[in-house]
Chains A and B, each alone.
Chain A
Amino acid sequence: MSGNWAKLPERGNLTALRLIHWITLHMGRPAGRALLYPITFYFLLTATAARRGSQLYLRRVLGRKPRLRDLFRHIHCFAATLLDRLYFLSGRLDRFDVRLFNDQLILDQAASGQGCLLLGSHLGSFEALRALGVTVKHFPIRILMNTEHNQGMTRYLSALNPALAETVISISGGPDSLLKVQESVAQGCMVGALGDRVVPGEKTVQCRFFGQDTPFPAGPLLLAALTGCPVILFFGLYRGNNRYDAHFELLAERIDLDRCHRQEQLAEWAQRYADRLEHYARLAPYNWFNFYDYWAEDAP
């Protein structure tokens, strides 16, 4: 099932993150990056579910059976962005080369004072963009996040930048969180959300994604429809060394759903999102950070 990610243990990640952080603090980023190799190797050997998820994805995106080297590169890419997250969180963007594509879109949106939905994914690093938006540009950004998953990691990262942590709206399942989102958008905030992982029990729409029917969450698009705000897509791709590419695209000025064709219209918008996600995943294949059986291929 596609809700598998919620069950993956995260303790190992946190231990590794703490270790990298300590090394980086005391010995600098090159030392931290050197350490990524043994850490990647360790995860490659021990994180069997994540390795399997990587394998299934890489087979699709590369169009061939992935080699060990590909798996290594995939996990290494994830670990590298995790290391950089520590820098982004502490506001140290100076050492990075972030290239912006179509950033006029986001600048215009900010200048308009109107709220919008920033729809991202687990492709690449959303932290790079969050840091850029909040710390450098001082955009009014709020992030809608599932903080119940991965609590240890969330707490650790929050402690690094409490001000940034305060911009998080945590998904509670009750009535509060999305009311908060709606109020934030109405006040002119940009609300960020990731649209590629389905939480068990949530509403979904089927999209064609990497050649297979795949459920995508309907929530972010419904949210945009209910608040009547534009939807801007963003992808923060890690391109090696200290380089990130940040892409922005307008998905919709406004999502209008009519009562009778709601499901079909939602599916159309979701398909556009899925198409762009696939496009960028093919552009930067090792940036795919959904390390689980995304297409439910191993399910009985």
Chain B
Amino acid sequence: MEALSPFELDVARLLVETLHLEHLQPKDLQPEDPLFGEGLGLDSIDALELALAISKAYGFQLRSEDKENRRIFASLRALSQHIAQQRTR
């Protein structure tokens, strides 16, 4: 099992907290697993809820026009990298 970086663990905590995935331990999430469909099995409502939580916590907006959205939301690792680049707080 691959360990999460400290920042990935922060994002994993936000994800578990926001989406009420109490049955999961943030540290047990697999960084490369898909968030949607197979893997964590998130749906589009989860995506919106997560996007709103991210903008609140890290001070930037995720946008529907962003062509990279699928890549950004592909895995915990990809999402964490994007947040690290874009965050304003």
Majority secondary structure, B binding face: helix
Do A203 and B45 touch (CB < 8 A)? yes
Contact with B along A213-227 (1 / 0, CB 8 A): 000001100110010
Report chain A residues within 8 Å CB of B72: 175
Would you call B64 and A183 a contact (CB within 8 A)? yes
Sorted from nearest, which 5 A-B pairs have the closest CB atoms? A175-B47, A180-B64, A179-B64, A178-B48, A175-B73
The interface stretch among A50-58, A60-68, A166-174 is A166-174
- Determine if A177 is an interface residue (Cβ-Cβ < 8 Å): yes
A226-B45, A262-B20 given; 7 more Cβ-contact pairs under 8 Å: A171-B44, A175-B44, A175-B70, A176-B69, A178-B45, A179-B51, A203-B45
Interface size on B, residues (CB 8 A): 18
Residues of A within 8 A of B63 (CB): 179, 183
Scan A81-94; emit 1 where CB is below 8 A from any B CB, else 0.
Answer: 00000000000000
Interface of A is mostly: helix
Residues on A with C-beta less than 8 A from B47 are 174-175, 178-179
Docked pose: A175 CA to B51 CA in angstroms? 8
Report whether A179 and B48 are in contact in the complex, using a CB–CB cutoff of 8 Å: yes
Say yes or no: is B49 at the interface (Cβ < 8 Å to chain A).
yes
B69 / chain A contacts, CB cutoff of 8 Å: 174-176, 179
Our pick among B20, B37, B49 for the contact of A226 (Cβ within 8 Å) is: B49
A174 touches B64 (CB 8 A): no
| Interface residue B2 (Cβ < 8 Å from any Cβ of A) | no
**Which A185-227 residues have a C-beta within 8 angstroms of B?**
201-203, 218-219, 222-223, 226
Q: Report which residue of A176, A177, A202 has the largest number of chain B beta carbons within 10 angstroms of its beta carbon.
A: A176
Closest residue of chain B to A202 (Cβ to Cβ) is B43
Task: Assess whether B44 is in contact with A182, with CB atoms less than 8 Å apart.
Answer: no
Query: Which chain A residue shows the least CB distance to B41?
Result: A201
Contact A179 B43 (CB under 8 A): no
Docked Cα-Cα span, A181 to B51, in Å, equals 13
B48 touches A175 (CB 8 A): yes
Can you name the residue of chain B whose Cβ is closest to the Cβ of A184?
B64
**Shortest beta-carbon distance, A283 to chain B, in Å?**
31
Nearest CB of A to B10, in Å: 20
Interface positions of A from 106 to 151, Cβ below 8 Å from B: none
In the complex, B14 has a CB within 8 A of chain A: no
Q: B9-67: which have CB < 8 Å to A?
A: 20, 36-37, 43-45, 47-49, 51-52, 62-64
Contact A174:B49 (CB < 8 A) given known A179-B63, A201-B43, A203-B43: no
